[in-house]
Amino acid sequence: MPPNPTGPTNRQLRMLARFLRKAAMANSANIWRVVAEFIERPRRQRVVVNVGKLNRVANDGDIVVIPGKLLGGGELKKRIIVASVNVSRKAAQKVIEAGGELLTIPELVRRNPKGSNVKIVI
Q: What is the pLDDT of residue 1?
A: 53
How many CB atoms sit inside 10 A of residue 78's CB? 18
What's the whole-model pTM score? 0.91
Tell me the C-alpha to C-alpha distance, in Å, between residue 39 and each of 15, 50, 73, 115.
10, 17, 22, 17
Let me know: does 73 contact 50? Beta carbons within 8 Å. Answer: yes
For the stretch 25-65, pLDDT in tens is 999 999 999 999 999 998 899 999 999 999 999 999 999 99
For the stretch 81-101, pLDDT in tens is 999 999 999 999 999 999 999
**Could you give the domains of the chain?**
11-120 (3.100.10.10)
